[in-house]
């Protein structure tokens, strides 16, 4: 069979049920093979949308997402989702067409050095040099994408090589001598960690996206329950621990709660799990958690002691390690009363500094109120795919996630335009769940074309637009740190989102009234089919609280 037909066999063997992509000259053979391969294909309207959709699918399902793109411009368009997937450890395999081998390096039509350009942004990549390599490369790509610290893998395929007849033998093994991720945590280290926890008087569990990726939400909850340990999650970890919970401190970091950030500041022991001490978490590194010792659990050894030196490093899979840490801890004779003072202190912060905002005196909808209303209208039962900006932070603060894989957003790269395609990917992964795309009037326009994909495939994605007519987060920084010199942040009146939604065949709604907000949203969210809700909110509202850039947790403002 042709190499491209072998690819379809491999995809099926990997359990792929949907591919997001866009055809072009250099991947015509792939699309020909796809024609009757029995694999569902979603034709996106821009390759960036395809990449983010594959990410959304992967994040919602825990499976590997797949994206097809052609050579040249198709390939350069996937660089953003590829980098996004690298930063947030999302398993996605990208297949790009490439010009035929005799044109390579000659500036052939639609030629770009995809392999070279993507190299710093991939977990691994394959440049196919012989057609018979293709089946093995496909399986190894999936293996690398999904195991260890997940990430994007690219397979670049010169078009002539994909058309060659090969002897296809199913591949059942991988040969990757240089790739052997450690998954089992070291028993001695786990025992040490349990002892450190047993002695800690001011411990905090700090969980990141790695807990979600490894499906370690349950052992995290078990560990927290071992001794009423306080828990905070990063932006990427939200949902790993139930937000409405007595031990939940809220999110930490730049726009985290005071309780979470102050607890980190005063902690004597921090258990970091699947988290990487990003600069949006630590603020000023030299003043970050100055009294704490660190247990750092991560599957990626390169994260250990990268930003913050770990006293007890444990390399391995979070599920494996947390479950064993719970067992080890249970064997110890511990004194629950040692945490009493700590909880008193935390309770005081919680009481003094809850998340708050001043509601409007009139009918104006405050952006925070919109998120609260969305939470009420859905009862929290939704997959929320967010774009990037103020709305993202407010959603993280005011929508309380109780389960992992319900909060899908672009954290590390902060990619505006992520939300809408990610929502369509998540809806493909979870057809029976309510998927809400929470976006802003800036972000939504960066991949607005995917409204067509949503309509064409009858995906009931509900788009809730927090419309303040500004690039809000940049405006906030200009207000706070650049003397209110508003430079290029006013997005004006256009487009008319209702007409735009109508043009795409999607029901549009405009909400401006606070009192009926929850009821209006509920009616829209329960209606069939996709919907686009343009919600007009306060124009100049700031996201608080906030650790100023380069500041310390102690100096939170707002």
Partner 1 sequence: MSRMGDPGTNELLSLEDLQATTGFRTGRKHILSILVENKPGVLTRVAGLFARRGFNIDTLVVGPTDDPALSRITLTLDGAMHPIDQVTKQLHKLVNVIKIRDLEPEDTIARELAIFKISVDGTQRAEVMQFVDIFDGRIIDVTKRSIVVELAADADRVKAFEKLVRPFGLIEMAQTGEIALARGRGET
Give 524: exposed, middle or buried? Use CB within 10 Å, 0-12, 13-18, 19+: middle
Query: β-strand 383-386 against 269-273: which pairing, if any?
Result: unpaired
- Burial-class residue 278 by CB neighbours within 10 Å (0-12, 13-18, 19+): middle
Residue for token pair 């959603």: 395
Pick the closer one to partner 1 by CB: 64 or 451: 64
Give the β-pairing of 312-315 and 269-273.
unpaired
- From the list 376-384, 413-421, 510-518, 542-550, the region that binds partner 1 by CB under 8 A is 542-550
Decide: residue 515, CB within 10 A, 0-12 exposed, 13-18 middle, 19+ buried: exposed
The answer to whether residue 125 forms part of the interface with partner 1 (CB under 8 A) is yes
- Under the binding rule (CB under 8 A), the answer on residue 315 touching partner 1 is no
Q: Considering the rule CB under 8 A, would residue 550 count as an interface residue with partner 1?
A: yes
CA-to-CA dists, residue 535 to 336, 445, 545, angstroms: 48, 15, 23
- Compose the 70-109 pattern: x for residues touching partner 1 by CB under 8 A, - for all others: ----------------------------------------
With H, G, I as helix, E, B as strand and everything else as coil, classify residue 442: coil
Selected binder of partner 1 within 35, 38, 106, 120 (CB under 8 A): 120
Taking CB under 8 A as the criterion, the residue among 363, 481, 496, 505 binding partner 1 is 481
Question: What SS3 class is residue 251?
Answer: strand
Q: Which residues are CB-neighbours of 291 under 8 A, at least 6 positions away? A: 202, 265, 266, 267, 268
The nearer residue to partner 1, 295 or 552, going by C-beta atoms, is: 552
Looking at the DSSP bridge assignments, the partners of residue 97 are 157
Q: Does 549 bind partner 1 (CB under 8 A)?
A: yes
- Would you say how long the chain is, in residues? 558
Is residue 548 at the binding interface for partner 1, with CB under 8 A as the rule?
yes
Nearer to partner 1, 482 or 494 (CB): 482
Nearer to partner 1, 503 or 548 (CB): 548
By CB under 8 A, tell whether 342 contacts partner 1.
Answer: no
Q: What separation in angstroms does the CA of 29 have from each of 42, 68, 71, 164, 170?
A: 17, 12, 13, 10, 20
Q: Closest distance between partner 1 and the C-beta of residue 480, in Å?
A: 9
List 297's β-bridge partners, or say none.
273, 314
Q: Among residues 129 and 352, whose Cβ is nearest to partner 1?
A: 129
| Residue 13: both structure tokens together | 């063997």
Q: Is 503 in the site for partner 1 (CB under 8 A)?
A: no
Under the criterion CB under 8 A, does residue 117 sit at the interface with partner 1?
no
Between 121 and 427, name the residue whose CB sits nearer to partner 1. 121
Residue 302 in the binding site for partner 1 (CB under 8 A): yes
Interface with partner 1 (CB under 8 A), residue total: 31
Q: Which of these ranges, 79-87, 124-132, 163-171, 511-519, lies near partner 1 under the rule CB under 8 A? A: 124-132
Among 117, 176, 527, 557, binds partner 1 (CB under 8 A): 176
* Candidate ranges 187-195, 477-485, 489-497, 501-509; the one touching partner 1 (CB under 8 A): 477-485
Assess 338 for contact with partner 1 (CB under 8 A): no
Nearest-angstrom CA–CA distance, 134 and 382: 39
Complex with partner 1: residue 115 or 349, whichever CB lies closer: 115
Helix (H) or strand (E) holding 469: none
- Binding stretches for partner 1 (CB under 8 A): 115-116, 119-120, 123-125, 127, 129, 144, 176-179, 279, 284-286, 300-302, 304, 306, 477, 481-483, 548-551
């Amino acid at each position: 069979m042709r190499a491209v037909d072998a690819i379809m066999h491999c995809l099926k063997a990997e359990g792929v049920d949907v591919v997001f992509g866009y055809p072009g000259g250099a991947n015509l053979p792939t699309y020909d093979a796809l024609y009757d391969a029995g694999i569902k294909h979603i034709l996106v309207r821009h390759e960036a949308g395809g990449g983010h959709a594959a990410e959304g699918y992967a994040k919602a399902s825990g499976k590997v997402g797949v994206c097809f793109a052609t050579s040249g411009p198709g390939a350069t368009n996937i660089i953003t989702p590829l980098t996004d997937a690298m930063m947030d450890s999302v398993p996605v395999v990208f297949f790009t067409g490439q010009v035929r081998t005799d044109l390579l390096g000659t500036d052939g039509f639609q030629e770009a050095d995809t392999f070279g350009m993507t190299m710093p942004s991939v977990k691994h990549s394959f440049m196919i040099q012989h057609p018979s390599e293709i089946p093995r490369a496909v399986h190894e790509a999936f293996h690398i994408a999904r195991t260890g610290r997940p990430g994007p893998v690219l397979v670049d395929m010169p078009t002539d090589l994909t058309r060659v007849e090969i002897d296809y033998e199913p591949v059942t093994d991988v040969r990757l001598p240089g790739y052997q991720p450690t998954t089992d945590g070291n028993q001695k280290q786990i025992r040490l960690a349990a002892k450190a926890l047993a002695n800690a008087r001011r411990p905090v569990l700090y969980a990141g996206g790695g807990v979600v990726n490894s499906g370690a939400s349950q052992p995290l909850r078990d560990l927290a329950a071992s001794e009423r340990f306080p828990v905070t999650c990063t932006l990427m970890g939200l949902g790993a621990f139930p937000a409405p919970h007595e031990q939940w401190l809220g999110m930490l970091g730049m726009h985290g709660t005071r309780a979470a950030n102050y607890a980190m500041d005063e902690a004597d022991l921090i258990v970091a799990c699947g988290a990487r001490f990003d600069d949006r978490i630590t603020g000023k590194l030299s003043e970050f958690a100055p009294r704490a010792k660190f247990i750092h659990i991560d599957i990626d050894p390169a994260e250990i002691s990268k930003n913050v030196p770990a006293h007890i490093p444990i390399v391995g899979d979070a599920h494996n390690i947390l479950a064993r840490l719970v067992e080890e801890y249970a064997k110890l004779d511990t004194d629950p009363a040692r945490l009493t003072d700590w909880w008193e202190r935390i309770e005081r912060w919680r009481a003094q500094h809850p998340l708050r905002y001043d509601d409007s005196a009139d009918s104006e909808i405050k952006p925070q109120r919109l998120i609260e209303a969305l939470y009420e209208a859905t009862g929290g039962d939704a997959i929320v795919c967010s774009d990037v900006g103020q709305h993202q932070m407010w959603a993280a603060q005011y929508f309380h996630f109780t389960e992992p894989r319900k909060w899908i957003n672009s954290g590390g790269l902060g990619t505006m335009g992520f939300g809408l395609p990610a929502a369509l990917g998540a809806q493909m992964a979870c057809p029976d769940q309510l998927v809400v795309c929470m976006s802003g009037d800036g972000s939504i326009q960066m991949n607005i074309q995917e409204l067509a994909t949503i309509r064409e495939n009858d995906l009931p994605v509900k788009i809730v637009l927090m419309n303040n007519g500004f690039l809000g987060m940049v405006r906030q920084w200009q207000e706070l740190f650049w003397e209110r010199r508003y430079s290029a942040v006013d997005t004006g009146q256009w487009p008319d989102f209702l007409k735009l939604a109508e043009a795409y065949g999607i029901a549009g709604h405009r909400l401006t009234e606070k009192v009926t907000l929850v009821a209006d949203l509920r009616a829209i969210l329960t209606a069939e089919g996709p919907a686009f809700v343009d919600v007009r909110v306060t124009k100049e509202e700031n996201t608080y609280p906030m650790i100023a850039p380069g500041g310390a947790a102690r100096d939170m403002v707002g």
